[in-house]
C-alpha cells in the first residue's frame, strides 16, 4: 500500500496527496483478464448481430445513412462512394475499408437470401471476383430494408449518441422483417 503526490497545484499551494490501493497480481493473470474483458466487449458490440434486427452495427449504420440520403427503393441509385462517405462521416468512423465491403455484401444475392441493398454495377460474383471500386458502383435501399427502417422516426426504438455526439443513431431497427431468421448472419469473433 502506498500514496504519493499527484502534482503541485498551479497556484503555488502544496501538492495534493491521494491515497491509492495497489493490488499485487502476476502480469500474466492481469493481461489474460484484461484481454478477455476487452475481447468480449468487442465481440458483443461489433462482431455479433443483434437478434432483434439481425444486424451488426456497421450494417445498421449503412442502412440508416442510406435512409438519411433518401435512397428509398423508388429513388434513383446513388454512388456507393457517397454512401460510404456519409456513413463514415455520421455514424461509423472506422474507414471506408470496413464500410464498402459490408455494403457490397448486403447487395449480393448469393450471400444473402433477401438483399438489403438494391445494387447497380459490378458487386462481385459468386465465383469470388471482387466488386468494382466504390466510385463505379451505385446502390439504394431494397424494399425489405425499407420495411426494416419503417417507423424509425416514430420513437419505436431507443437511440444513442453517435461517436462524435453530434447526432443520434438507433440501437436497433424497428424491423418488421425477421432478418436474422431469413438471412442469417456470419462473422468472425476472436478472443476466447
Q: Which of 38, 114, 136, 163 is catalytic?
A: 136
Q: What is the 3-state secondary structure (H, E, C) of 117-183?
A: EEEECCCCCCCCCCCCCCCCCEEEECHHHHHHHCCHHHCCCCEEECCCCCCEEECCCCCCCCHHHHH
What are the grid coordinates assigned to 72, written together?
Answer: 428509398
* Contact in structure between 135 and 63 (CB atoms under 8 Å): no
* Contact in structure between 175 and 145 (CB atoms under 8 Å): no
- C-alpha separations of 52 from 159, 161, 171 in Å: 14, 20, 10
Residues 151, 155, 158, 162, CA torsion sign: positive
Q: Is 136 part of the annotated catalytic residue set?
A: yes
Q: Which residues pair with 161 in a beta bridge?
A: 168
Neighbours of 144 (CB within 10 A): 22
Active site residues: 136
Amino acid at each position: 500500500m502506498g500514496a504519493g503526490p499527484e502534482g503541485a497545484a498551479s497556484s503555488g499551494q502544496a501538492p495534493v496527496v491521494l491515497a491509492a490501493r495497489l493490488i499485487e497480481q502476476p502480469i500474466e493473470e492481469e493481461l489474460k483478464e484484461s484481454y478477455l474483458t476487452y475481447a468480449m466487449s468487442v465481440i458483443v458490440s461489433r462482431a455479433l448481430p443483434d437478434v432483434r434486427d439481425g444486424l451488426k452495427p456497421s450494417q445498421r449504420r449503412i442502412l440508416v445513412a442510406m435512409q438519411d440520403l433518401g435512397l428509398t427503393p423508388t429513388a434513383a441509385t446513388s454512388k456507393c462512394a457517397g454512401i460510404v462517405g456519409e456513413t463514415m462521416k455520421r455514424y461509423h468512423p472506422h474507414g471506408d475499408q470496413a464500410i464498402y465491403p459490408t455494403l457490397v455484401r448486403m447487395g449480393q444475392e448469393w450471400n444473402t437470401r433477401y438483399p438489403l441493398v438494391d445494387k447497380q454495377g459490378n458487386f462481385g460474383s459468386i465465383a469470388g471476383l471482387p466488386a468494382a471500386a466504390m466510385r463505379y458502383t451505385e446502390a439504394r435501399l431494397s424494399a425489405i430494408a425499407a420495411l426494416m427502417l419503417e417507423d424509425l422516426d416514430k420513437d419505436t426504438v431507443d437511440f444513442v449518441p453517435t461517436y462524435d455526439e453530434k447526432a443520434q443513431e438507433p440501437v436497433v431497427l424497428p424491423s418488421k422483417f425477421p432478418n436474422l431468421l431469413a438471412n442469417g448472419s456470419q462473422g468472425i469473433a476472436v478472443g476466447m
